Amino acid sequence: IKNGNITSAPLNGTGGNPSGRGFFNGIEFSTGFGAEVEPSNILVSQVLVYGGASRGIYLSSNSGSSNIVTHCSVRKTGSSGIIADEVHFSSAIDCGGDGIWTRNLVSHSIGKSIGNSYGIFCNGPVSDSIGTSVTGTGIYGSVVSNSSGSGSKSIEASIAVACKTFGTQVITNKY
């Protein structure tokens, strides 16, 4: 999926409680309607999603699907902004849930949660990124490098290298 805009009517409300007219999700896989298997090896690039009561871009929640989002922008969603296996050079701003949620890798990206969620959540490494959350964690990752986080917990990581934090930090090893 490449080069497009998905725009919804403006939504009111914050923290996952949107109201008003507009679509529910921007781009999302579905296992309903007879689909038995999640899609894999999907690339979403150069897409803008604005608004939506729930998710902006939702490609995968299971391991091994290799779904990638790159050079995309999501703004003002009621729930998560971007969910994929990898996210690069992308942003998810003013999301009621997690800004960016990935299983494997985040690089050169910005995630902002306006609720009690993660700006960026990644089970793997996060590099050259910015994560903010109003009352949650700015960035969560195994190894976080050259990044900045702010929130009630700025950065949660086993290892953090050359990071800026604004708030409480939970880092096992700092370099």
- pLDDT tens for each residue of 9-27: 655 555 445 555 668 888 8
What pLDDT, on the 0 to 100 scale, is given for residue 170? 74
- Residues 30-75 pLDDT 10s: 655 555 566 788 899 999 999 888 889 998 766 667 899 999 999 9
The answer on pLDDT for 164 being more than 80 is yes
| Gap between the Cα atoms of 129 and 95, Å rounded | 17
Q: Which residue has the higher pLDDT, 135 or 60?
A: 135
Q: How far apart are CA 41 and CA 129, in angstroms?
A: 24
Strands 100-107 and 91-95: unpaired
SS3 category, 56: coil
Note whether 117 and 101 are within 8 A (CB): no
State the pLDDT at residue 9.
Answer: 67
Q: Which amino acid is at 93?
A: I
Question: Using CA atoms, how far apart are residues 15 and 79, in angstroms rounded to an integer?
Answer: 8
pLDDT, tens only, 80-132: 999 999 999 999 999 999 999 998 999 999 999 998 999 999 999 999 999 99
**Residue 34 neighbours by CB under 8 Å, 6+ apart:** none
Contact 47, 55 (CB under 8 A): no
| Structure confidence at residue 21 (pLDDT) | 60
Quick one: pLDDT at residue 64? Answer: 67
Distance between alpha carbon 17 and the CA centroid of its chain, in Å? 18
Give me the residues paired with residue 171 across strands: 157
